[in-house]
Amino acid sequence: MKEVLLPVLVGLGMSLIAVGVLMRARKREQSLAEILDLPFGEQDVPIEAITETRGAIAEGAVSLAGSMVTRFDASGSLSQSLERARIPLKAGEYVVIVACASFVSGVLLGFITRQWLFALVTLVLGPVLGRWFPNFRIARRRKAFERQLPDALSLIASSLSAGHTFLRAIQMMCEESDAPLSEEFARVVYETRLGDPVVDALARMAVRLDIRDLQWVVQAIRIQQTVGGKLADLLHTLADFIRGREEIRREIAVLTAEGRISAWVLGALPIFLLFAVQTISPGYMQPLFQGWGYAVLAFTGMSIAIGTAVILRMVKIEV
């Protein structure tokens, strides 16, 4: 019992530390946003509000991780992914958190299953899951943004018809909308306050989010500003067109839901049974962890991965 309780306590402690770091980073981001909204000279800002303070060990670990990320990721893809996923962490901080979580999970799993092969696999899969998580957040934010975009365009068009300027219509839409759409368009407003044209800020947002519908909207607005015409009618037309595409996506998602669930269930069930049997009766699975058993496990894992990928590819339909 003690052998299991110790890693559980260590894991909980590391989890609390990670949550504390994330909450502190989120609070700092909100403080910076409030500072940017203040008129110049309205209120003195303490230096602690815009600076970071860490312990010596944490600072050294983050600096080392940051230098490694810079060396192996010269293009800065990890930093861009964290920014697009709205994860308020630097690349070095994120790498340190993922490494600690992988180590604690591996040790905990090794103590529970009495099989250190599982711990080694967890240490290997930890960075893979850490690299996948920002992409998952990006995809989820992209889907939420696509659902909100038609209503946002209709709201902007209505504000334009009421006599407001394009920038003021975007500001009013941000006040009425939820995240992530309000967050992204608020960033557009902040960039225009710094002197950037509205269309250029929208174009950068379209590139950052990588949404085809939004790219079409930006291109249509750019053409409208060149040749003239009523922007409100154009936005209403685009909103109806995008809303129709979204209805088709939802219908496809409903029709392919069974296939996606089958892929995840069939892929996760053998792994779950392996861990469950190893935890309940460690001696029963012992032949798999010696000799040709490792080859059988490797072949099984490869078969599961290929089968899951094939099923998911079959039910993925682009619109």
At 2 the pLDDT is 45
**Do 239 and 272 reside in the same domain of the chain?**
no
Q: Which of 201, 220, 243 is the last residue of a domain?
A: 243
Reported residue count of the chain is 319
Residue 65 domain-assigned (yes or no): yes
Query: Which residues are CB-contacts of 206 (< 8 A; sequence separation ≥ 6)?
Result: 214, 215, 217, 218
Question: In the predicted model, is pLDDT for residue 299 greater than 80?
Answer: yes
In this prediction, residue 61 carries a pLDDT of 59
Q: Which helix (H) or strand (E) holds 46?
A: none
From 94, 114, 134, give the residue that closes a domain.
114
In a domain, 126, yes or no: no
Q: What is the mean pLDDT of residues 103-111?
A: 76
Residue-range definition of the domain harbouring residue 34: 1-114
Structure tokens at 10: 């260590």
Condensed to tens digits (0 to 9), the pLDDT of residues 184-214 reads 888 888 888 888 888 888 888 888 888 888 8
- The CATH number assigned to the domain holding 172 equals 1.20.81
Same structural domain, 109 and 1:
yes
User: Residue 130 falls within a domain, yes or no?
Assistant: no
Query: Is 135 domain-assigned?
Result: no
Output the six-digit token pair for 86. 């709205």
- For residues 225 and 311, membership in a common domain is answered with no
Q: Are residues 46 and 102 in the same domain?
A: yes
For the chain, the average pLDDT equals 77
- Do 161 and 90 belong together in one domain? no
DSSP code per residue over 193-248: HTT--HHHHHHHHHHHHT-HHHHHHHHHHHHHHHH---HHHHHHHHHHHHHHHHHH
Q: How many domains does the chain have?
A: 3
Distance CA 295, CA 272 (A): 19
Q: Which of 114, 132, 155 is the last residue of a domain?
A: 114
Give pLDDT, residue 244: 87
Three-class SS of residue 179?
Answer: coil
d(CA 292, CA 33): 58
Confidence of residue 134 (pLDDT cuts 50, 70, 90): confident
* Domain assignment of residue 120, yes or no: no
pLDDT digits (tens, 9 = 90+) for 245-256: 888 888 888 888
For residue 282, give the DSSP letter: G
- Please give the single-letter amino acid code of residue 35: I
pLDDT tens track for 227-246: 877 888 888 888 888 888 88
Token pair listed for 110: 């090794």
